[in-house]
Structures are given as structure tokens and as C-alpha cells.
């Protein structure tokens, strides 16, 4: 028997981007474990990825090109050869372009595979073709805009710093679910006596392990951060010398805070005045404070504002001296290679229209001139995009040509006219970085491509050639694209910059040494200048109403607030294939359950004007009265009566960045 191990990296959309070791027995992967040499992975993997090889080698994988033979959505296909698939693609794409123009084709992709090369691999092709451009805003766009407005594009603090902290705050992040490799640093700090605090609308699994938990109202973080800052200002807890030395524009914010009552901030945040005072005092008195900011708190119509308020609060408290145990981490921003060397925007001869991916429902049903071709890869929009009733109405259109490049028969894939087999990351060459840490790694295939599956890179290189495109980017091999890109990555250690990163290697960003020290960057701006952004954006963080939650009409019809955070054993809708016999759980407070006559284990319909989702009730004090929690993006299945969570969410976007508002939803419920 031949036994060998190979190093790879987890491709999933998670801050941790773990180093993995795959064990092969006679060419079959029998085990995957965490790479002990990866400084963040530290030898362990999350529960869902410990069996990642079962997904890679699953008998349910799509391994051959297929053509639809049933009705759209029925999921009936017949196997065809790649030659036939290429013929259909070239014919349809040429026809769409000739009849309606390039913009009638809409590419739709996100982060099924975070590989730096494979993730944007379709871009050169779609630029050359002249397709509509997809604004990839669904996840972190609001977080990024909120951070950059005052900070500039500077990195976050390395997570390792939290190990030396005396106070760690997980703010809008369920680290035990979505960033578990942050937790060992928390545990290390706790062993030294540090306190761990969670700020979240519900008592999630991370909050259960915290020393204190503050149940903020969804979207109430701006009020909480500003309330704390007002109190700190009054009590002299702010860091005056840091403000003078490294920041500008504090006066306007201070004047705004002075003119308001603490009670107003308390009411909007859902946190009592006493708790605001307690939390602000604790932070003010603990020099080594580390704030881990989540993307979760940005998924509402004041989401970027929340990030702005939290970063302004952090800066005023002087959390950025670069001192030991001190800092804030939203996203690491630890490598900044030239993305043009991956996406080649220069191939676009005339600028084409942009479509926000959050508004796919609108794009497929109302956009004019209409979308005639949809090319989906590395995403499952019928599960993950908001307002999926509209998405489905679009996918059902007989005059829409839909291509889906996938590993599994997802709800979206069932609507494909042409279904193409995608490799998994274990079959690819690629580069990975983690958005919650400061390391980059390179991988080569662990196993050969399964069946007739092709990587995103190979799909689009071949398609370009079939379409007769011969520009240099379409002639590159994957190694050439990787090495070419690496030359542009300034943050690589000198040796790798000169000699290129080797497969299996994991290296730190040079930015890790800055450790979140603000003196190394430009001034921090409490007041951003209107010249540098949208004139409607307030210059300082401030209280504004939220579109759906504060709408009086919706309030009377849909009395419950809903948030839709991740489930531990799924990654967005990835692994949905494992849970096709589950509708998922609705978490409801005992008071609400009683008022609505809902008992534990009952089937409940959660509904609003957009759609519905059927789930099983679990009655729990872990949520607040009036707040429902639906964890997990389960695929629509017979147990949920073919409904799914994103029928309930809206196409409204965040205040900045055009992001998704998945945690700002009004609904009602009834037992079914």
C-alpha cells in the first residue's frame, strides 16, 4: 500500500484559510488534518472541514458536462461530451452578443473557492466579451467602506496580538462558528486572567463562553459605540495624547456627542445606560484591549456606519499605539497584489454596465435592456442572494440561457441549461490568503481532476480560445499567472518576492510587523472629507434610521426582527448537500412563543411580503423578545416545503458599499 501526505489549504470563505494536510492511501484521500506548522491553524480543523475529503470524493459530485432535458428547476439532465458543451457555449454566447450586445450576458460568481487565481478567473474572459460587470458586494463591501472611510486602507491588527490582551471583545462576530482559530488566542489570554466579552443580538455559541454578554439590538452598534464614546469623553477616559498626535477632526464628533443624551444612545442600542457606562469604563481602564469586529454587524442599512462608529471609538480610546495586546481587527488586509494581473480590466474595450450581485432578483426580472445569459460559477445565488423569490422568477425565464459551473447539484444548478463540472480546490494550483490573518500559501493539486471536471482557470482559458480570443492573458498557464501575480505582492518576504512562493509554503505578510501601530500610517480621520466620497455620507458617525427595521408600515405588519447568521457545520450554502433532510431551526424567545401559541419542535412559517421559510421551532432565552434567529442557509427541500431563508431577506443595500442587509428583516410567524 502506498501512503503519503500532501499539504494544501482550505478554500472556503472563512477568515482562517487553514493549512491542511491530506493523507492519501493508494491515491485516495483518507484523512485531512490541520497543518501544525501553520501559525493560525495550529494543527486543528473545524468540524465541517475535518471531512472535507468526503465532499471532494463524493459520489454526488457533478463530474461530466450535462444538458437540461427537464423543465427549468426540475434538475433533469443528460450527459454530453465536452466537445458538445463547448459547441453549445460558443453558439449561445455568440448569438447573445450578436442579437443583444455583450452586456446581455451577466457573470455571477462569489467565493465558493477563495483561491486568488481561480476566484477571479472568469474576469479576463468576461471583460473581453464585453459582459455586464458584477459588483461583488454581498459580503464585506460595507465593512470595507466603513473601515476605509476613517482609517484608509490600512491593515487590521494581527490576531496573535489578542493572546497578550487583558480584554478581548468579539463585536458582531461569532468567532466560535466563523473564525474558530481566533479562539486559542482568546483562551491563552483568559488563562492569564483576561476578560472575554461578546456584543451580539443573541447569545450565540461564542457568547456562551464569554465572561460578559451585551445583547445589542440589530443595527444598534452605532448607538452603542457613540454612547460609550460620549461617556468616555465626559469621564476623561479617552486617550487625549493619541488623539492629538495621530488623528484629525475629533472636535466635530465631540460636539455631536455633547449635544445628545446618553439615554438616546441606550434606547437605540438596546443596551442600558448602566451597561454602556460599565463597558466604556472597562475599556477605558484596560490598556491592552483587543476588539475583533465582525462582518455580521454590517449586514443592515446602517452597517458601514456601525463600523465607522466602532473604529472612531477605538481610535479615541487610543487602541492603536501598536502596544502589546492592543488593537482592532475587522479584516487583515495583509497582502495587496495587483488584482489587474488576475482580472485584466484592460481587455474591456468599452466600459460596460454594472449590476450589484445583491440585486440579482431585480437584474433577472426587471433590468432593461434585459439579461439574456447568466453564467454562474463559484456561487449558489438561488440560496445565498437575498429575495430569492425574485431570483427564482428570473431563473425560470424560458428566454434566459443559464450556465452553471459547479461541484454539486445546488438549487441554482437545477436551473442550468448547461451544467459544467468544476474541480475542487484539492485538484487545483492556487494561492490563498486569510482575511483574518497575515499568511499566504501556495498549493498544487493533491489529487488529479476528478471525472471531466475543470478548474475555473481552465474553463475560462479554454472558452476564450474556443471563442477565438488570443490576447496574452488567455495564453498563460496557471503557473505563469501565479508567478506573474506574485511579483506584484509587495508584502511578501524578500526571498519569496525574488524566487516566488513554492507549493506547500506558507509565509507571513511583512505587514505583520506593523502590529496595528498607527504611527506607521497616515493620520486617522474622525471626520472624513466629503471630497473623497459620496456627498450624502455624513462626515462623522451619527445616528440615522434603518430602512426596514424602523419603517412604521412594516412594523405594524411584521412585528418581529429577524437575523440570519451562519450555522456551524455549513459554509454559507456549501455543504447544503449534507442537510437535505433538514429544514433548519427557528430560535424564538419563550414570551413570543407563548403569545403565538408555538411549542418546541412545532413547524413554523416565517413570512413577510417577499416570501416565506418553514422551520422547526426551538424556544430559547438565548434570543431577545421580538427577535427571531434563523441560523444556516439550508437548500430548499421538501422539509422546508421548498422554501429557504433568503426568500425573507431584501435587496436593500447597506449605507455604503452596496452590501447585503441579511440581518435587517421584518417578519411575522404562524404555526403550520
Which residues are at the interface with ligand MGD (CB under 6 A)?
A: 13-14, 110-113, 118, 138-139, 171-174, 177-178, 199-202, 204, 216, 218-219, 221, 294-297, 299-300, 377-380, 383-384, 405-408, 410, 422, 456, 563-566, 568, 570-574, 633, 645-646, 649, 660, 662-663
Q: How far apart are CB 336 and ligand MGD at their closest, in Å?
A: 19
Distance CA 59, CA 61 (A): 6
The residue sitting closest to Mo ion, measured at its beta carbon, is 139
Give the shortest CB-384-to-Mo ion separation in angstroms: 9
Is residue 116 a contact partner of residue 432, using CB atoms and an 8 Å limit? yes
CA dist 335 and 430 (Å) reads 15
Q: Which is nearer to ligand MGD, 332 or 383 (CB)?
A: 383
Q: Distances from the Cα of 215 to the Cαs of 172, 392, 416, 622, in angstroms?
A: 10, 35, 43, 10
Residue 377 touches which of Mo ion, ligand MGD, none (CB < 5 to 8 A by kind)? Answer: ligand MGD
Residue 215 binding partner per list ligand MGD, Mo ion, none, with a CB distance cut-off of 5 to 8 Å that depends on partner kind: none
| Region of 48-56, 118-126, 138-146, 371-379 interacting with Mo ion (CB under 5 A) | 138-146
On the CB side of 195, how many CA atoms lie within 13 Å of its CA? Answer: 15
Picked from Mo ion, ligand MGD, none, the partner binding residue 276 (CB below 5 to 8 A depending on kind) is: none
CB of 248 to Mo ion, least distance (A): 32
Name the residue nearer to ligand MGD (CB basis): 287 or 547: 547
> From the CB of 241, what's the least distance to ligand MGD, in Å?
30
Minimum distance of ligand MGD from residue 296's CB (angstroms): 2
In the complex, the smallest distance separating the C-beta of residue 323 from ligand MGD, rounded to whole angstroms, is 25
Name which of 216 and 617 has its Cβ closer to ligand MGD.
216
Of these partners, ligand MGD, Mo ion, none, which one is at the site of residue 434 (CB under 5 to 8 Å by kind)?
none
Kindly list the distances between the CA atom of residue 345 and the CA atoms of 127, 129, 277, 339, in Å, as whole numbers in the listed order.
6, 11, 50, 9
Q: CA dist 199 to 67, 224, 328, 472, 533, Å?
A: 49, 10, 15, 50, 30
| Dihedral sign for Cα atoms in the order 530, 532, 536, 542 | negative
Q: How far is the CB of 442 from ligand MGD (least distance, A)?
A: 16
- Nearest Cα neighbor of 114 from 367, 268, 331 is 331
Task: Write down the least CB distance from residue 408 to ligand MGD, Å.
Answer: 5
What contacts 283, CB < 8 A, 6 or more positions away? 167, 169, 228, 232, 237, 289, 317
Bridge partners (DSSP) of residue 603 are 616
Tell the smallest beta-carbon distance from residue 57 to ligand MGD (Å): 14
Q: Quick one: what does residue 663 bind among Mo ion, ligand MGD, none, with the CB cut-off 5 to 8 Å set by partner type?
A: ligand MGD
Three-state secondary-structure class, residue 442: strand
- Contact between 343 and 124 (Cβ < 8 Å): yes
The three cell numbers of residue 389 are 423569490
139 binds Mo ion per the rule CB under 5 A: yes
Pick the piece of the chain touching Mo ion (CB under 5 A) from 139-147, 319-327, 446-454, 502-510.
139-147
Looking at beta carbons only, is 155 or 219 nearer to ligand MGD? 219
303: closest CA among 138, 546, 524? 546
If contact means CB under 5 to 8 A according to the sort of partner, which of Mo ion, ligand MGD, none does residue 277 touch? none
Binding pattern for the stretch 81-120 against Mo ion, x by CB under 5 A and - elsewhere: ----------------------------------------
Q: Which is nearer to ligand MGD, 169 or 319 (CB)?
A: 169
- For strands 133-135 and 354-356, give the pairing: parallel
Residue with smaller CB distance to ligand MGD, 112 or 155: 112
Is 144 or 429 the residue whose CB approaches Mo ion more closely?
Answer: 144
Q: Which does 210 bind (CB under 5 to 8 A by kind): Mo ion, ligand MGD, none?
A: none
Burial of 578 (0-12, 13-18, 19+ CB in 10 A): middle
- 3-class DSSP assignment, residue 326: coil
CB of 78 vs ligand MGD, minimal distance in Å = 21
Nearer to ligand MGD, 482 or 492 (CB): 482
Please report how close the Cβ of residue 160 comes to ligand MGD at its closest, in angstroms. 19
- 335: which 3 cell numbers? 497582502
Smallest distance from Mo ion to CB 259, Å: 37
Residue 139 vs 237, nearer CB to ligand MGD: 139
Q: Which stretch binds Mo ion (CB under 5 A): 55-63, 134-142, 237-245, 524-532?
A: 134-142
Q: What whole-number distance in Å separates Cα of residue 22 and Cα of residue 49?
A: 12
Asked if 446 and 7 count as a contact pair (C-beta separation under 8 A), the reply is no
Helices 262-269 & 221-234 angle (0-180, nearest 10) = 150
The SS3 of residue 183 is helix
Long-range contacts of 550-553 (CB under 8 A, 24+ apart): 551/666
Name the DSSP letter for residue 660: B
Minimum distance from residue 438 beta carbon to Mo ion (Å) = 19
Instruction: Output the CA torsion 175→379→420→126 (10° steps).
Output: -130
For residues 130 and 565, which CB has a smaller minimum distance to ligand MGD in the complex?
Answer: 565
Kindly tell me which of 507 and 586 has the beta carbon lying closer to ligand MGD.
586
Cβ proximity to Mo ion: between 165 and 649 the closer is 649
Q: Which CB atom, from 139 or from 357, has the smaller least distance to Mo ion?
A: 139
Instruction: Give the separation between CA 352 and CA 338, rounded to whole angstroms.
Output: 22
- DSSP letter at 671 equals E
**How many other C-beta atoms can be found within 10 angstroms of the C-beta atom of residue 270?**
19
User: How many residues lie near Mo ion (CB under 5 A)?
Assistant: 1
Under the rule (CB under 5 A), what is the footprint of Mo ion? 139
Amino acid at each position: 500500500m502506498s501512503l503519503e501526505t500532501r499539504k494544501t489549504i482550505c478554500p472556503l470563505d472563512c477568515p482562517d484559510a487553514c493549512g491542511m494536510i491530506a493523507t492519501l492511501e493508494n491515491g485516495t484521500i483518507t484523512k485531512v488534518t490541520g497543518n501544525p506548522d501553520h501559525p493560525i491553524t495550529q494543527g486543528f480543523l473545524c468540524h465541517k472541514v475535518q471531512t472535507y475529503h468526503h465532499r471532494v470524493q463524493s459520489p454526488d459530485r457533478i463530474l461530466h458536462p450535462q444538458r437540461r432535458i427537464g423543465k427549468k428547476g426540475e434538475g433533469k439532465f443528460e450527459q454530453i461530451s465536452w466537445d458538445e458543451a463547448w459547441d453549445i457555449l460558443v453558439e449561445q454566447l455568440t448569438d447573445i452578443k450578436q442579437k443583444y450586445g455583450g452586456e446581455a450576458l451577466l457573470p455571477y460568481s462569489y467565493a465558493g473557492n477563495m483561491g486568488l487565481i481561480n476566484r477571479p478567473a472568469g474576469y479576463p474572459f468576461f471583460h473581453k466579451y464585453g459582459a455586464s460587470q458584477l459588483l461583488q458586494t454581498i459580503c464585506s463591501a460595507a465593512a470595507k467602506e466603513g473601515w476605509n472611510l476613517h482609517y484608509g486602507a490600512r491593515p487590521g491588527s494581527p490576531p496573535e496580538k489578542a493572546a497578550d490582551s487583558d480584554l478581548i471583545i468579539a463585536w458582531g462576530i461569532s468567532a466560535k462558528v466563523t473564525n474558530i482559530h481566533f479562539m486559542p488566542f482568546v483562551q491563552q489570554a483568559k488563562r492569564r486572567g483576561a476578560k472575554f466579552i461578546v456584543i451580539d443580538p443573541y447569545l450565540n455559541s461564542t457568547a456562551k463562553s464569554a465572561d460578559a454578554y451585551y445583547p445589542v439590538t440589530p443595527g444598534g452598534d452605532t448607538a452603542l459605540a457613540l454612547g460609550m464614546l460620549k461617556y468616555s469623553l465626559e469621564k476623561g477616559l479617552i486617550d487625549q495624547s493619541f488623539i492629538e498626535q495621530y488623528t484629525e477632526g475629533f472636535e466635530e464628533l465631540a460636539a455631536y456627542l455633547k449635544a445628545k443624551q446618553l439615554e438616546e444612545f441606550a434606547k437605540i442600542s438596546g443596551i442600558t445606560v448602566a451597561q454602556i457606562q460599565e463597558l466604556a469604563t472597562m475599556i477605558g481602564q484596560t490598556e491592552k484591549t483587543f476588539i475583533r469586529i465582525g462582518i455580521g454587524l454590517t449586514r443592515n442599512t446602517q452597517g458601514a456606519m456601525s463600523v465607522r462608529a466602532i473604529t472612531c471609538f477605538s481610535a479615541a480610546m487610543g487602541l492603536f499605539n501598536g502596544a502589546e495586546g492592543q488593537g482592532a481587527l475587522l479584516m487583515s488586509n495583509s497582502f495587496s497584489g495587483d488584482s489587474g494581473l488576475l482580472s485584466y480590466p484592460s481587455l474591456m474595450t468599452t466600459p460596460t454596465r454594472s449590476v450589484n450581485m445583491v440585486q440579482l432578483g431585480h437584474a433577472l426580472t426587471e433590468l432593461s435592456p434585459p439579461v439574456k445569459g447568466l453564467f454562474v460559477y463559484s456561487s449558489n445565488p438561488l440560496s445565498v442572494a437575498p429575495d430569492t423569490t425574485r431570483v427564482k422568477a428570473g431563473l425560470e425565464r424560458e428566454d434566459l440561457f443559464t450556465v452553471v459551473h459547479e461541484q454539486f447539484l445546488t438549487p441554482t444548478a437545477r436551473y442550468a441549461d448547461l451544467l459544467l463540472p468544476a474541480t475542487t480546490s484539492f485538484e487545483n494550483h492556487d494561492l490563498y490568503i486569510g482575511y483574518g490573518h497575515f499568511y499566504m500559501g501556495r498549493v498544487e493539486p493533491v489529487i488529479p481532476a476528478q471525472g471531466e471536471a475543470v478548474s475555473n482557470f481552465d474553463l475560462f482559458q479554454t472558452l476564450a480560445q474556443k471563442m477565438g480570443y488570443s490576447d496574452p492573458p488567455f495564453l498563460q498557464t496557471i503557473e505563469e499567472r501565479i508567478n506573474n501575480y506574485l511579483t506584484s505582492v509587495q508584502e511578501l518576504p524578500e526571498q519569496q518576492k525574488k524566487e516566488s512562493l513554492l507549493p506547500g509554503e506558507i509565509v507571513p505578510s511583512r505587514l505583520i510587523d506593523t502590529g496595528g501601530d498607527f504611527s506607521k500610517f497616515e493620520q486617522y480621520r474622525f471626520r472624513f472629507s466629503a471630497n473623497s466620497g459620496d456627498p450624502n455620507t455624513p462626515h462623522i458617525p451619527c445616528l440615522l434610521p434603518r430602512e426596514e427595521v424602523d419603517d412604521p408600515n412594516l412594523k405594524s405588519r411584521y412585528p418581529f426582527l429577524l437575523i440570519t447568521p451562519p450555522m456551524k457545520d455549513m459554509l454559507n450554502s456549501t455543504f447544503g448537500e449534507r442537510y437535505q433532510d433538514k429544514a433548519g431551526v427557528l430560535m424564538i424567545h419563550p414570551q413570543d412563543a407563548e403569545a403565538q401559541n408555538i411549542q418546541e419542535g412545532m413547524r413554523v412559517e416565517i413570512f413577510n411580503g417577499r416570501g416565506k421559510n418553514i422551520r422547526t421551532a426551538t424556544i430559547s432565552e438565548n434570543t431577545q423578545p421580538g427577535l427571531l434567529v434563523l441560523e444556516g442557509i439550508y437548500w430548499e427541500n421538501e422539509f422546508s416545503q421548498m422554501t429557504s431563508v433568503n426568500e425573507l431577506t431584501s435587496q436593500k443595500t447597506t449605507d455604503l458599499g452596496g452590501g447585503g442587509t441579511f440581518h435587517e428583516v421584518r417578519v411575522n410567524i404562524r404555526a403550520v
